[in-house]
Amino acid sequence: MKFTVVGAGSSYTPELLDELAVRKDQLPVDEMVLYDIDEKRLEIMTGFCRRFAKKKGLAVPIRSTLILDDALDGADFVDTQIRVGGNRQRVVDEKIPIRYGLVGQETTGAGGMMKAMRTIPVMLHVAERMEKLSPHGWLINYTNPTGLITEAVTRYTKANIAGFCSGGIFPKMWAKKAFGVEYRQVQYDYVGLNHMNFISNITIDGKPLTEEQFEALAKVNDAIDLDLQKLMGVLPSPYLAWYYHTKRRVQWLKDAKMTRGEEVQLLEKEVYAAYADPACDEKPAALAKRGGGGYSEVAMNFVNAVYNNQDTEMVVNVPNRGAVPFLPDSAVVEIPCLVNARGMAPLHVAHVPPMCWGLIAEVKNYEQLAVEAAVEGSVEKMKLALLAHPLVRDYELIEKMVPELLAANKEFLPQFHL
């Protein structure tokens, strides 16, 4: 098995080695290839990963390359975790919307759209090269906004892609924290889009939750007010705080001394200083502050299901194909799928909580327009996407903000500046 990481300079890369070490008997990786466009970060990460793998007892040859085709050629699995423009552009995405009194965040709203605009053309290029160089390989995408990336790749290429987010196992993580139960004991209905999903019909060992158990889980999901979750009777994604507590969240952004992107820049300096230390062979403590927990576990669950043909139910971003009846078949949704060597089969969503479907449809309307705008370089569709987005919508603000967003990202948006 050839396992490639695109965007290997990401501080998350060692998490993948953690999971490979646990599964080394089930997943015999013959070659791990680290690819990035940042030579310095790639060199540091490669050195650390070799030390870390040795410490973990993982005898996997690890090499690096600055050539994309080399990384993709014959790859069985390609894990993508890129950030076009780096955290510098993330900060831009955050600050411009805040000036207009809007949510400034990297995966939703106007900021999330700009991340998609920069990223989609690059990811389409990766997918197109995979069509040529590893047509049977799987692209495992963790690059945000993963729902939009997955939709672009499925609509415009023939590459095999599975779009992931650790949010699919959040209810299992919450239940383990609240009750001490194992993941396998927890089942639930899950429907929506990436960072826009709802969890209902939760059971533990097949038994529905009591009111007290539901409240205990809702308390762990503390980004959303407890009383709101009890009113809804479902567990919303923590990211729905941007939609359900918008005014409070915008004020919090305005009052903050620095944006999350600026915090991450400082954290990355600390993390990379540790990675660069030739004596360091353990993940630095600062990495835990970076977020993104659970991502490597989900990625390797997918690899194991496909490589070993083990039927596994997983939450994946996939084309709808009738699973969610009120959305187009081409719309990428985040729902449970049966995963094995054949790929992913979306499972029909039996129940959509009634207060949820309108918001899901509205955000999907935005996402489909944003994908088309990114591919076509269409300012008109970019504006229409923001008009459709429930966190933006205001035409006068859009007319003022769009030129500023385009100017601030000109270096990374060749499709808009031909």
What are the catalytic residues? 239
Q: Which residues contact residue 338 at a Cβ distance below 8 angstroms, ignoring those fewer than 6 apart?
A: 311, 312, 313, 344, 345, 347
Token pair, residue 86, equals 């780096």
Distance CA 65, CA 75 (A): 14
Report the candidate in 300, 280, 282, 371 with the shortest Cα–Cα distance to residue 330.
371
> Based on the number of CB atoms within 10 Å of its own CB, is 46 exposed (0-12), middle (13-18) or buried (19 or more)?
buried
Q: In what order do the strands lie in the sheet with 332-340?
A: 62-65, 31-35, 2-6, 77-80, 138-141, 160-163, 312-319, 332-340, 343-346
> Please, what's the b/e burial string for 332-347 (b: 16 or more CB within 10 A of its CB; e: otherwise)?
bbbbbbbbeeeebebe
CA 285 to chain centre: 23
Alpha-carbon torsion 229, 234, 239, 245, what sign? Answer: negative
> Based on the number of CB atoms within 10 Å of its own CB, is 411 exposed (0-12), middle (13-18) or buried (19 or more)?
exposed
Distance CA 356, CA 362 (A): 10
Q: Which residues contact residue 38 at a Cβ distance below 8 angstroms, ignoring those fewer than 6 apart?
A: 9
Beta bridge partners of 185: none
Report the candidate in 264, 266, 284, 265 with the shortest Cα–Cα distance to residue 274.
284
Distance CA 71, CA 251 (A): 44
Report the candidate in 72, 201, 59, 57 with the shortest Cα–Cα distance to residue 134.
72
Report the candidate in 10, 184, 175, 166 with the shortest Cα–Cα distance to residue 80.
10
H helices within 57-108, ranges in order? 68-72, 86-99
Distance CA 311, CA 315 (A): 13
